[in-house]
Amino acid sequence: MFGNNRTDIKVGARVKVVQKQDQRIGTLTEGVVRDILTKSATHPHGIKVRLEGGIVGRVKEIL
């Protein structure tokens, strides 16, 4: 499942995100959602979240 819809992402969900510095190469980082940072219902590049380790990125895949 893709991470473009805010309603699909819940705090505590396991996701893969792309960090700002990795957007060009597309490296994905896996983690658990701590905070949802995007306020809008959808975003074409993925909803921005903060993972439990403090990493911030846009959700590319919901596991």
pTM, to two decimals: 0.91
pLDDT recorded at residue 52: 96
Whole-number Å distance between alpha carbons of 16 and 7: 16
pLDDT recorded at residue 19: 97
Per-residue pLDDT reduced to its tens digit, 16-53: 999 999 999 999 999 999 999 999 999 999 999 999 99
Nearest to 4, CA basis, from 43, 33, 36: 43
Can you list the domains of the chain with their CATH numbers?
A: 6-62 (2.30.30)
Q: Provide mean pLDDT across the span 50-60.
A: 96
Nearest to 59, CA basis, from 21, 27, 25, 18: 18
Whether the predicted pLDDT of 1 surpasses 90: no
